[in-house]
């Protein structure tokens, strides 16, 4: 490949001159200046069209970058909103139940309400169980993908457990509860 030739449309005039002069040096053309002069309007038009296409591409790229940045900001806002919702839900757990949370589970047999969270800090499912390890094991075996975190609240009795679960589902309307997904 001849490195002196630049075959991009942006340099059509220069590429054309080089090609004509090389042909003349090989003896293929008698009057290279006349050939160059006759071809220059077409080369100029070709070059101008290429520059306009390049400007349009740069403009479209700038628009796409601006749209991408706006989308990124919207996702950051959504993430911040979901984190605030998560924090509020965790505070509500303690307020509604009057039970401590986030400590180690001392006894898996008791009255528990549990929250399954996704990676975006959204509540996927709220449930209750008298044997929390068994029930959470069922969830992980059945739907392990998508569950990022589990929060449990131990309740003093079955009535408190049922009340907490119903209030939490009504408040947060988790995707798997609301859609009727049997988790």
pLDDT digits (tens, 9 = 90+) for 70-102: 999 999 888 888 777 767 766 665 555 555 555
What value, to the nearest 5°, has the Cα angle with vertex 104 and ends 103 and 106? Answer: 120
Q: What does the alpha-carbon distance between residue 164 and residue 177 come to, in Å, rounded to a whole number?
A: 14
Q: What does the alpha-carbon distance between residue 141 and residue 181 come to, in Å, rounded to a whole number?
A: 15
Tokens of 16: 């054309």
Contacts within 8 Å (CB) and 24+ apart, 128-131: 128/161, 128/162, 128/164, 128/165, 130/158
What per-residue confidence (pLDDT) applies to 1? 42
Instruction: Label residue 14 by pLDDT band (50, 70, 90).
Output: confident
What per-residue confidence (pLDDT) applies to 3? 47
pLDDT digits (tens, 9 = 90+) for 115-158: 888 888 888 889 998 888 778 777 777 766 677 888 888 888 89
Q: How many other CB atoms are found less than 10 A from the CB of residue 107?
A: 9
What per-residue confidence (pLDDT) applies to 166? 92
Q: Where are the domains of the chain?
A: 1-97, 99-178
Closest CA to 140 of 129, 149, 131, 128: 149
Q: Which fold has domain 99-178?
A: GIY-YIG endonuclease (3.40.1440)
Contact 82, 120 (CB under 8 A): yes
């Amino acid at each position: 490949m001849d490195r002196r030739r630049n075959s991009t449309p942006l340099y059509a005039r220069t590429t054309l001159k080089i090609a004509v002069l090389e042909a003349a040096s090989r003896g293929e053309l008698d009057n290279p200046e006349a050939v160059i002069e006759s071809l220059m309007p077409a080369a100029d038009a070709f070059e101008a069209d290429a520059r306009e296409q390049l400007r349009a591409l740069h403009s479209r790229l700038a628009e796409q970058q601006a749209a991408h940045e706006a989308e990124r900001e919207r996702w950051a806002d959504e993430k911040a909103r979901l984190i605030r919702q998560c924090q509020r839900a965790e505070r509500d757990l303690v307020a509604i139940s009057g039970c401590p949370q986030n400590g180690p589970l001392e006894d898996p047999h008791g009255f528990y309400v549990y929250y399954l969270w996704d990676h975006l800090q959204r509540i996927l499912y709220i449930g209750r169980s008298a044997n929390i390890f068994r029930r959470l094991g069922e969830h992980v075996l059945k739907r392990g993908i998508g569950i990022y975190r589990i929060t449990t609240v131990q309740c003093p009795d079955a009535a408190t457990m049922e009340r907490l679960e119903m209030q939490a589902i009504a408040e947060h309307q988790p995707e798997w509860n609301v859609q009727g997904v049997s988790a």
